Amino acid sequence: MTLLSDITNETIRAEIEEFVERPEEIKRLVDLFSQAEPIMQAIAATVIEGEHHETDRLTASALNDGFEALEIMDDGLIGGMGLVGIKFRENFIFVPEVLACARAMKAGMAHIDPILSASGIDPVGKVVMGTVKGDLHDIGKNLCIMMLQGSGFDVIDLGVDVSPDDFIDAIENSGSKLLGMSALLTTTVPNMGRTIEAFIDADLRDDVEIMVGGAPVTQEFADDMGADGYGKDALDCVATARRLLGIETAV
């Protein structure tokens, strides 16, 4: 069993102690950070503190020291953002602070992106990606895009707050057979279903495979709204994209 005292980084320890109350969340964070390298804990701490210059510096330094981009992303950047999410939910911090944390995460991801995206091979498939109407969250979508690009996909990124019509236009104009939608708000998840209905109304549903993802989305929601696939994280997004396009090789 891992203990809070197993976490070597003082900031992370203090943050968990002060701000996290749910036992299952304490356990998840203690498990993650007690096993994470000190440099990953330090990177996570800079995301939590919104110190984007430090995130930038430490991410570059970790890569320089030979740590894998994926490890830095999962244990450092996403790990830190997980704690930020809990503080935001419990009203310990508010939108300006979260934006500072998101900026720090982006500063780290600027180093990770080219590594995950560098494939140098012919595209294995084309995918249109966007965050649905009413939703401005793009960190998770961008991670998925990086992983897709790193796996050889040509990605058309429509950004955030994308209407059903814009999704349809992008599919028609690009000739892509795969659409990926992201949503982070429970109130915007239904817009995924509305987009799927718009494809049915436009008589285009049979021409496109549709995958969905985002923290509030589940396999059950995906099935209910008539999506073809669901990805729980960025790796799963790639696996789902490959499955839906009939690309055999495992990632």
Residues that bind ligand B1M (CB under 6 A): 78, 81, 84-85, 88-89, 95, 98-99, 102, 134-141, 143-144, 180-182, 184-187, 211-216, 231, 233-234, 237
What are all long-range contacts of 193-202, with beta carbons under 8 Å and residues at least 24 apart?
Answer: 193/224, 193/225, 193/226, 194/133, 194/164, 195/132, 195/133, 195/164, 195/167, 196/225, 196/226, 196/227, 197/164, 198/164, 198/165, 198/167, 198/168, 199/164, 199/167, 199/168, 199/171, 202/168
Measured from the CB atom, the residue of 3 and 71 that comes closer to ligand B1M is 71
Q: Beta strand pairing status for 209-213 and 178-182?
A: parallel
In angstroms, give the least distance from the CB of 3 to ligand B1M. Answer: 24
- What is d(CA 27, CA 196) in angstroms, rounded to the nearest whole number? 38
Closest separation between CB of residue 45 and ligand B1M, Å? 16
48/18 Cα distance (integer angstroms)? 13
* Residue number, 8 or 117, with CB nearest to ligand B1M: 117
Cβ closer to ligand B1M: 30 or 184?
184
Least separation, in Å, of the C-beta of 112 and ligand B1M?
A: 12
Residue placing its CB nearer to ligand B1M in the complex, 123 or 159: 159
CA-based nearest residue to 180, from 109, 230, 248: 230
**In the complex, least distance from residue 245 CB atom to ligand B1M, rounded to whole angstroms:** 13
Q: Which residue has the tokens 């995958």?
A: 211
Q: Kindly tell me which of 7 and 178 has the beta carbon lying closer to ligand B1M.
A: 178
Quote the longest CA-to-CA distance of the chain.
Answer: 58
Q: Could you give the 3-state DSSP secondary structure of residue 231?
A: strand
Q: Least distance in Å: CB of 80 to ligand B1M? A: 10
Distance in angstroms between the alpha carbons of the first and the last residue of the chain: 32
Beta carbon of residue 69, minimum distance to ligand B1M (angstroms, whole number): 14
Nearer to ligand B1M, 150 or 231 (CB): 231
